[in-house]
Chain A
């Protein structure tokens, strides 16, 4: 099978664009990704489009109505917050299979403000606040407190994740926010669901990101190898059975399974990774994934954040983009935006937040507790 390369990739600056349509927002990132590699929509043989909010609305085709109706195959993908990564992986799969040699993947989302989730629904009465909470901040608070139960992780350690990611985002012009948030500010901001304060919850924003993926032969033919990023691993998992599944979405098992398979596919270990963009939908979640991705031994996550290992300049920088906490989290776009971030570092083009000498990076997203997408990327020079 051929290797597959990201030859063009970009994202728009995340923000709130109520005056635009979803296809318009998606089109912007596609045009930027095409410009990144000097290709046009007429060079693309298929489009894999990730979007959640209008999952039945043929967003991919409507994007082509904006930027070029070339008649190519369009696949519309929805997989919760793993939507973008899933669209990217479908594109990668088609190139690996030899079906196409130059395809597009895009992730796009237009979000409202406010709480996501909620317990119950259906007939009868609301179960929210009666049988616990199904709000996302509470669900991820419970996942974090499971870690606290096992390893003694503290509120302060969870909060430090948010301090770090907000600091990183001050160096990322494409992040929603560029604001320093000291520890006291994070810990004293409005408590949403203990231990997640408002500054420890990801930001609902609109956004899009896109990537052009080519086969090895095509990448060479086009003369694009010098900035190309090799996809060393692409893994998608669903949630294996766990005893508490029925009441606790399990972000751990699907991540551990995906990480193991991704390292195997790449022939690499966690120690070979130079930077990680992982799914910090809440500050509590980031801590869990240090363990899950093997960045430390199980239970070592609290020490990793205390010691600064995961900050820019540390042993294994995590979410130097600012992460979902500060860059923002447009659900369907997130899984390609993190591929943009890692690719930009591997190309040495990340400016003030550049992870020096980065050669291999890992991206990770979670779709609720039931989908996990991991990609390992490498700059071949």
Chain B
């Protein structure tokens, strides 16, 4: 078991000496941004021109669903949100610190990406995880 929380997805990096961040892979030819490592760009087809880029933590709400029924054991309701980051990447995640009520959610609202424990979820080895969440940016 690890002493430190593990990243919830492989595109989250947790440096020993610094803040966690999300890493994108950006095509050197067409600037398309991907989550997770890859060598070929599915937009333009160029090979071996991927570079890494630290994703922005600022963005705006593009779309959402308010989930009232999920699989057993998953706490509801929650907001499943799609956020366009300022650097052109798009992420999906839980939007927190907003009431799960369509009246309280505005398209385009400024969002920030924050990092916190993965709702207490642990894997079969007992490891805890660091996740990312969206919250309104003031």
The interface of chain A, by Cβ under 8 A from chain B, is: 115, 118, 123-133, 135, 137-139, 141-143, 145-146, 148-149, 155, 190-196, 241, 243-244, 246-248
Contacts and interface: CB of A to CB of B under 8 A. Distances in A.
A132 B119 contact: no
A139 B123 CA distance: 26
Given A133-B67, A135-B71, A192-B69, A142 B80 contact: yes
Nearest to B45: A241
Nearest to B66: A194
Given A126-B121, A128-B71, A137-B69, A194 B102 contact: yes
B76 A146 contact: no
Most B Cβ at <10 Å: residue of A115, A129, A248:
A129
Interface residues of B, number: 43
7 contacts: A132-B81, A133-B78, A141-B80, A145-B107, A148-B107, A193-B66, A193-B67
A145 B65 CA distance: 7
Interface in B89-138: 90-94, 102, 107-108, 118-119, 121-123, 129, 131-132
Given A124-B8, A241-B42, A130 B71 contact: no
Contacts of A148: 107
Most B Cβ at <10 Å: residue of A125, A148, A196, A248:
A125
Contacts of A248: 63, 82, 90, 92
Contacts, number: 133
A158 B12 CA distance: 36
Interface of B: 6, 8-9, 32, 34-35, 42-43, 62-71, 74-76, 78, 80-82, 84, 88, 90-94, 102, 107-108, 118-119, 121-123, 129, 131-132
A133 B80 contact: yes
A235 B93 CA distance: 34
Given A130-B118, A193-B65, A248-B92, A118 B102 contact: no
Contacts of A149: 62-63, 107-108
B102 A146 contact: no
A124 B129 contact: yes
Contact of B8 (A125, A141, A146, A196): A125
Contacts of B64: 141-142, 145
Contacts of B32: 241, 243
Contacts of A244: 62, 82, 84, 90
Given A123-B123, A130-B131, A149-B62, A194 B68 contact: yes
B129 A135 contact: no
B80 to A, nearest CB: 4
